[in-house]
A and B are shown apart, each in its own frame.
Chain A
Amino acid sequence: MKKRMLQKMAVFGLITLMVGVMNLHSAQAQEKRDFFKVGVVTSLSGELVFGGTVTKRGYDMWADTVNQQGGIEIAGKKYKVTLVYADDQSTPATAAVAGERLITQEKVDFILGPYASGPTLALAPITEKYKMPHITGSAESPLIWKRKFKYTFGTIPSVNLTAQGIIQTLAQDVSPKPKTIGILGIDDPFSKFTAEAFKAASEKLGLKVLKYEIVPEGSDYTPAITSIKAVNPDIFAMGNHEKAAIEMMKIAKELRFNPKAFVQHYGMTTPDFRKGLGKDCEYVFGNAVWTPNMKHQSTILFKTTKEYADAFVAKFKTDPDYTEAGSTAAGIAFQEALRMIKATPPLTDAQKDALIGALEKLNIMTFYGQIKFATEGDSYHCNAGLQPVALQYQGGKTVEVGPGKLRTVAPKYPTPSWDKR
């Protein structure tokens, strides 16, 4: 009996050893690849699929353009990039699992991060655990940067910085100056911080916050908007994603809520906002760190902002917004950091650490503007190279209305009432 048991254990041990050797062999086989394997965690299903697809387009734009040009040139040789996607299903827990799978099973060289801040906050500790370089081309919550993750970077400045642009424009550059504001935010890491950023900027600039409401995603926003309408603020500012951005404007119109300015953040820059609201998107103010009209010039991948915008329209038949541009810029940041350290695929652990050092030193000009990651403070590893620009829908297009010198067109203020449009 004991002998049979020993035999079984020996067979089991042998099988385990063989499997181990095979795995080692396949791992070694993977070691010899001559392309960069890039993991992408983003929302390809679930509530955030719209935004997930926006980031996917940005990342695909980078990878396809790099490959069309033969790959990333390092020490005279070009290395192509292959994107390996993992769906976070719009939930933070799945983002963590998806990231772990990309790192441990797919053995990717580095990771391009999720669309939303919630999944990014869940993925960052995983990339930290495995010492895996990770850049998000979309997430904007300041919570990510306050936690000072060594291996996580972001190309879009955090929302507490960007949201100031439009409030500053309205508080200082329009006449008659608004005095009061009502703020409504959705209860998710990005939207809530957008609302908080609007509040902080308003208080700093002397606007009186009459009402500040945070509501759950997917609820009927009518009672909250009714309560803000009741206090009659000069500005109605909304922290939300694209879907709620459309719904809140529809409700405001139905309730005949006529503040002097409607302010949004991310949602208003998406083509769906314009299509969903039609002429009702007119006069809405918003924020961005990038628009296709900007005049940035670069020597990396796309020579000008216009070249990027044209290539994007040709590929996807729609205008790019700043999240798509930020996602493409995330790829560019990796590509330039790899060139700096002359790292070839597959990356070793030491090269991944060196890549972090290179990203910290990176200071480049791209079609998206300057990329320079902060190395200290509350915006640790977030791009500090961009300035927020205030936008407004005028004639069906977004135009830059401030702040200060960034203005290309004067803001239309006050917004005419719904009956007079």
Chain B
Amino acid sequence: MLIDGLLIGGLIIVVGIGFSLCFGVMHIVDFAVGEWVMLGAYTGFILVRYFGHDPMIYLPIVFLIFCALGWAIYPLIYRAVSGKRHNPVLMGLVFTFGLSILAKGGALSVWGYHIQSITTWLSGKSLALGPLTIPALRFSGFLFGILITLLLMLFLYKTRLGITIRATAQDREMANLLGTDVRKVGALVYSLYAGVTGMSGILIGALFSIHAAMGVKYCTMAFFVVVLAGMGYVPGVIIAGLILGLLQSFVGVYIGGRYNLLALFMVMYGVLLITPKGILRRGI
């Protein structure tokens, strides 16, 4: 049960990490987060169908494809959230909500309603540790989540570009006055976010199933994790993801699976009421 919880947490981290970065730096609540997962899963599925090989091989390719997509879409988002508009956060929300509907509808038109699945060499394999059975694919998802978070933290804290991104997140106007091209920083962050989230689609597609409407639950999950971690606080995503995974696992076993969402919402409301900056009090 503990292992289950940690492994579910690993998946939540994978989806939440990019979302948190995107919110923290650009203050964009991206409603299309689940659709990036869905499109990533479909891209992996198509690459496997046409070129064969294990889907895991395509992780870097999907990352690059989605980075490019994010980079291409960002000017539109920038246009929606900047300029003379009164409420940029709301504009961003509406714009990405539209993107999400477009992506869902587009996927349905292009790939149809059939439920697809991808299989990796890790699918169905498990590691036996005494009486414990650890699903290999979930475990690799967990490691992937931790690794991506650590890499992102290294990038944000140890590189010049990362420091520029953090400075922009802290005070956008000041960073702009000091010569930072905030538009370019935004584009970089959005493409990073799209790349990481799209890449997670391959893992999720291999674990579950792929269909046009699969994104909704990951959008909800990303919101939970960002509220718990503290909005925009990237390192908090690991702890928040693990807490949410453990919560789901324990509620599922001891109280009943039907109370899972209730428990998650109660925790989210509790955090928003008691400590709106997240459990570590480091969010915005």
Chain A residues within 8 Å of B, Cβ to Cβ = 45-47, 49-50, 52-53, 187, 213-216, 218-224, 226-227, 230, 242-243, 246-247, 250, 253-256, 272, 275-278, 280, 418
User: Are the C-beta atoms of A215 and B117 separated by less than 8 Å?
Assistant: no
Identify which of A47, A242, A250 gathers the most chain B CB atoms within 10 Å of its CB. Answer: A250
User: Are the C-beta atoms of A276 and B108 separated by less than 8 Å?
Assistant: no
User: Are the C-beta atoms of A222 and B209 separated by less than 8 Å?
Assistant: no
B133 contacts across to A, CB distance below 8 A = 255-256
Instruction: Please tell me if B54 contacts chain A, counting CB pairs below 8 Å.
Output: no
User: Are the C-beta atoms of A254 and B113 separated by less than 8 Å?
Assistant: no
Instruction: Please tell me if B235 contacts chain A, counting CB pairs below 8 Å.
Output: no
Alpha-carbon separation in the docked complex, A400 to B260 (Å)? 37
A216 contacts across to B, CB distance below 8 A = 257-258, 260-261
A222 contacts across to B, CB distance below 8 A = 4, 7-8, 138, 249, 252
User: Are the C-beta atoms of A247 and B253 separated by less than 8 Å?
Assistant: no
Instruction: Given A220-B8, A223-B1, answer yes or no on A272-B115 (Cβ-Cβ < 8 Å).
Output: yes
B209 contacts across to A, CB distance below 8 A = 243, 246-247, 250, 276
A243 contacts across to B, CB distance below 8 A = 115, 209, 211
User: Are the C-beta atoms of B113 and A223 separated by less than 8 Å?
Assistant: no
What are 30 A-B interface contacts by the 8 Å CB criterion?
A: A45-B108, A47-B213, A49-B113, A49-B212, A50-B114, A213-B257, A215-B257, A219-B217, A220-B8, A222-B138, A222-B252, A223-B250, A223-B253, A223-B260, A226-B249, A226-B252, A243-B115, A243-B209, A243-B211, A246-B115, A250-B207, A250-B209, A253-B124, A254-B126, A254-B137, A255-B126, A255-B133, A275-B116, A275-B117, A276-B117
A280 contacts across to B, CB distance below 8 A = 124
User: Are the C-beta atoms of A276 and B115 separated by less than 8 Å?
Assistant: yes
Instruction: Given A220-B8, A278-B119, A418-B124, answer yes or no on A49-B108 (Cβ-Cβ < 8 Å).
Output: yes
B12-27 CB mask vs A (1 if < 8 Å, else 0) is: 0000000000000000
**Chain B, range 238-274, C-beta contacts under 8 Å to A:** 248-253, 256-258, 260-261
Total number of residue pairs linking A and B with CB closer than 8 Å: 110
B207 contacts across to A, CB distance below 8 A = 250
User: Are the C-beta atoms of B252 and A215 separated by less than 8 Å?
Assistant: yes
Closest partner residue, chain B, to A275 (CB atom):
B117
**Chain B, range 112-141, C-beta contacts under 8 Å to A:** 113-117, 119, 123-124, 126, 133, 135-138
A253 contacts across to B, CB distance below 8 A = 124
B212 contacts across to A, CB distance below 8 A = 49
Determine how close the nearest CB of chain A comes to the CB of B204; give it in whole angstroms. 11
Alpha-carbon separation in the docked complex, A187 to B257 (Å)? 10
User: Are the C-beta atoms of B213 and A46 separated by less than 8 Å?
Assistant: yes
A256 contacts across to B, CB distance below 8 A = 126, 133
Closest partner residue, chain B, to A223 (CB atom):
B252
Instruction: Please tell me if B208 contacts chain A, counting CB pairs below 8 Å.
Output: yes
Main DSSP-derived SS at the A contact region: helix
A246 contacts across to B, CB distance below 8 A = 115, 117, 209
B175 contacts across to A, CB distance below 8 A = none
User: Are the C-beta atoms of A227 and B208 separated by less than 8 Å?
Assistant: no
User: Are the C-beta atoms of B248 and A50 separated by less than 8 Å?
Assistant: no
Instruction: Please tell me if B216 contacts chain A, counting CB pairs below 8 Å.
Output: yes
Determine how close the nearest CB of chain A comes to the CB of B177; give it in whole angstroms. 46
> Pick the contact of A250 from B124, B126, B257, B261 — CB < 8 Å?
B124
User: Are the C-beta atoms of A218 and B124 separated by less than 8 Å?
Assistant: no
**Chain B, range 139-179, C-beta contacts under 8 Å to A:** none
Determine how close the nearest CB of chain B comes to the CB of A402; give it in whole angstroms. 28
A52 contacts across to B, CB distance below 8 A = 113
Determine how close the nearest CB of chain A comes to the CB of B35; give it in whole angstroms. 14
Closest 4 pairs between A and B when the two form their complex, measured CB to CB: A223-B252, A215-B257, A254-B135, A276-B117
Closest partner residue, chain A, to B136 (CB atom):
A254
A278 contacts across to B, CB distance below 8 A = 119
Known: A213-B257, A223-B248, A242-B115. 12 other contacts (CB 8 A): A219-B260, A222-B8, A223-B251, A226-B1, A243-B211, A247-B209, A250-B117, A250-B207, A250-B208, A254-B126, A254-B136, A280-B124
Identify which of A213, A218, A223, A253 gathers the most chain B CB atoms within 10 Å of its CB. Answer: A223
Closest partner residue, chain A, to B251 (CB atom):
A223
Alpha-carbon separation in the docked complex, A220 to B249 (Å)? 9
Closest partner residue, chain A, to B137 (CB atom):
A254
A230 contacts across to B, CB distance below 8 A = 253
Determine how close the nearest CB of chain B comes to the CB of A284; give it in whole angstroms. 15
A50 contacts across to B, CB distance below 8 A = 113-115, 211
User: Are the C-beta atoms of B4 and A223 separated by less than 8 Å?
Assistant: yes
B117 contacts across to A, CB distance below 8 A = 246, 250, 275-277
B5 contacts across to A, CB distance below 8 A = 223
B248 contacts across to A, CB distance below 8 A = 219-220, 223
Closest partner residue, chain B, to A219 (CB atom):
B260
